[in-house]
Amino acid sequence: MDRPEADAISFEQIRERAYELWERNHRPEGLEIQFWLLAERELRTERAGARRAKRRRAQRDGGDLIRDSVEEFGLRHRLGTKRGSPLP
18, pLDDT greater than 80: yes
Mean pLDDT estimate for the chain: 80
More confident residue, 64 or 13: 13
- Residues sharing a CB contact under 8 Å with residue 21, sequence separation 6 or more, in sequence order: 35, 38, 39, 42
Give the model's pLDDT for residue 38.
97
51, 6 Cβ separation under 8 angstroms: no
Query: Residue range 69-75: average pLDDT?
Result: 61
Q: What is the pLDDT of residues 27-51, one digit of tens each?
A: 999 999 999 999 999 999 999 998 8
Query: Residue range 48-59: average pLDDT?
Result: 84
Query: Residue range 56-78: average pLDDT?
Result: 64
54, pLDDT greater than 60: yes
The C-alpha atoms of residue 14 and residue 50 are separated, in whole angstroms, by 17
